[in-house]
Chain A
Amino acid sequence: MEEKRVVIRSAKGKTLTVYAKVNNGRLEEIVFGGDYFAYPEDSIVNLEEKLRGLGLEEALKTIEEYLKDTVLLGISVEDLKESVRRILS
């Protein structure tokens, strides 16, 4: 098990600070921390749950699908995906 921290300064203006526990190329736990905004907020917390146990490809697909109806401010879906790419590569 490996602990990772990734910081992304989004072009949208805010900072995404991601913490994850990785086991064999899969996310054991992930927290999308930072000073950004998401509407509704729950969608991020629920996404973190959904990502448990997933590898890179599944995780990227899940982020894309799960945030379809979420309004992000200060960061983008691409920032969240990029953070997971960095964590799992």
Chain B
Amino acid sequence: MVEEIRLIIDKHQDPHYNMGFDEALLTLRVQGEIPPTLRLYMWDPSAVTIGYFQRIRDVVNLDYALEKKIPVIRRITGGGAVYHDRDGEVTYSIVLDARGRFTDVQESYRIICSGIVEALRDLGLEAIFKPVNDILLNGRKVSGSAQTRRKNTLLQHGTLMVSTNLDELVRLLVVPREKLESHRVSSIRERVTTVSIELGKTLSPEEMIPYLIEGFRKALGAQLIEEKPSPSEEKLAEKYAEKYRSIEWNYKR
């Protein structure tokens, strides 16, 4: 059982740096340089991330992203495309040892995602975890997560749409017709929601953060101890950020 988890809160960071930081957490945890760590962060500017296996031109409206100067970044984790709204979204990432109750991949998704489920329930919302990696409110997706593993260490990161501009999300993300049909919807717009929509009042990402801290504390059964990122973490994050800026990486599929 994990007893203490370090907490980093990183508001409004550069998108490439954000992905670089998550990869740095994974590398440094594998090397035993840092303790298990939970990071809550936001984006500036807004950005799109895509899953490791996705073909970039099939899942993102690249012309529109370019016009709006919205970076599109390939993640090291699988899963689908995500719109990270600067003013409406919180992202989490966590690095843990993939042992004990975190050994099984699907079970580890469930445990980590229950941090968000708990946070939403604290707000009075009936959140449901839907395997593989979704959290639903009223049958609509409000959060998705993605996990990768290296040498018995897991990195999971995920999005929570607090007050995301869903019209912008619809303009940016392209979903295969076959996937929409299987969900019996004609547009992705019918399949997603935000915390604010479900609450019936606007909640900001900043206001969501204390709920997430409490939710993850309960879900993980751990004390969360806030610290600033270390200089070596920031340096490695910057190094990896260069990869996330490169055409070779982002357009490799």
Within 8 Å CB of A73, what residues of B? 78, 105-106, 132
B55–A37 contact, CB under 8 A? no
Closest to B183 in A: A9
B132–A34 contact, CB under 8 A? no
Known: A9-B179, A35-B51. A40 touches B149 (CB 8 A): yes
Within 8 Å CB of B76, what residues of A? 41
Given contacts A14-B132, A41-B148, A74-B133, 18 further A-B contacts (CB under 8 A): A17-B176, A33-B53, A33-B55, A33-B253, A35-B54, A35-B78, A35-B80, A35-B81, A36-B53, A36-B78, A37-B146, A39-B149, A41-B53, A41-B76, A41-B78, A44-B53, A73-B132, A74-B78
Within 8 Å CB of B81, what residues of A? 35
**Does B79 count as interface, using CB distance less than 8 angstroms?**
yes
Binding site for A on B (CB under 8 A): 51-55, 58, 76-81, 105-106, 131-133, 146-149, 176, 178-179, 182, 253
Known: A9-B178, A37-B79, A37-B146. A17 touches B58 (CB 8 A): yes
B54–A33 contact, CB under 8 A? yes
B55–A39 contact, CB under 8 A? no
Closest to B52 in A: A41
A28 to B106: give the CA distance in the assembly, Å: 34
A2 to B26: give the CA distance in the assembly, Å: 41
A38: which of B53, B131, B176 is its contact (CB, 8 Å)?
A: B53
**Does A71 count as interface, using CB distance less than 8 angstroms?**
yes
Within 8 Å CB of B58, what residues of A? 17, 33
Within 8 Å CB of B148, what residues of A? 39, 41
| Interface residues in A17-54 (C-beta closer than 8 Å to B) | 17, 19, 31-41, 44
Closest to B134 in A: A13
How big is chain A's contact interface, by range?
20 to 34
Closest to B178 in A: A7
Closest to B54 in A: A33
A48 to B52: give the CA distance in the assembly, Å: 14
A40 to B76: give the CA distance in the assembly, Å: 11
B78–A38 contact, CB under 8 A? yes
A34 to B81: give the CA distance in the assembly, Å: 10
Within 8 Å CB of A38, what residues of B? 53, 78
A37 to B131: give the CA distance in the assembly, Å: 12
Closest to A16 in B: B53
A31–B253 contact, CB under 8 A? yes
Contact with B along A42-73 (1 / 0, CB 8 A): 00100000000000000000000000000101
Closest to B50 in A: A35
Q: Which 3 A-B pairs have the closest CB atoms?
A: A35-B80, A37-B78, A7-B178
B23 to chain A, nearest CB (A): 13
For this complex, 24 residue pairs linking A to B, each with C-beta atoms less than 8 Å apart, are A7-B176, A7-B179, A9-B179, A9-B182, A13-B132, A15-B178, A31-B253, A33-B54, A33-B58, A33-B253, A34-B54, A35-B51, A37-B79, A37-B147, A41-B53, A41-B76, A41-B78, A71-B105, A73-B78, A73-B105, A73-B106, A74-B78, A74-B132, A74-B133
